[in-house]
């Protein structure tokens, strides 16, 4: 969570958002869920891309080690 913001404030914010979504009805809830899933997938894609770039550039010693046995296991 953001530094300096108490946990209680976050809980109240999330409860308020969920309450508004539920009061608006099932169609609004379905739309909100689609938006949330899309945002989650975008964040996941960014995470994977940043990880691949970090490994490719060797950031902080990151590297991919594939030896003969690992390749056999993957292809099996």
Give residue 11's domain range: 7-75
> Rounded distance, CA 31 to CA 29, Å?
5
> Rounded distance, CA 64 to CA 54, Å?
11
Domain-located, residue 57: yes
Query: Which tens digits make up the pLDDT trace of 3-60?
Result: 788 999 999 999 999 899 889 988 888 998 999 999 999 999 999 999 888 888 888 8
Question: Cβ(55)–Cβ(64) under 8 Å?
Answer: yes
Residue 74: partners with Cβ closer than 8 Å, 6 or more residues away = 66
Domain-located, residue 2: no
> Token pair 């409860």 is at which residue?
15
Domain-located, residue 68: yes
Give the pLDDT score at 68: 64
């Amino acid at each position: 969570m953001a530094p300096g913001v108490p946990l209680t404030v976050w809980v109240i914010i999330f409860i308020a958002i969920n309450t508004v979504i539920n009061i608006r009805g099932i169609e609004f809830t379905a739309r909100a869920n689609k938006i949330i899933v899309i945002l989650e997938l975008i964040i996941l894609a960014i995470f994977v891309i940043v990880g691949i770039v970090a490994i490719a550039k060797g950031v902080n010693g990151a590297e991919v080690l594939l030896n003969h046995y690992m390749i056999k296991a993957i292809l099996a």
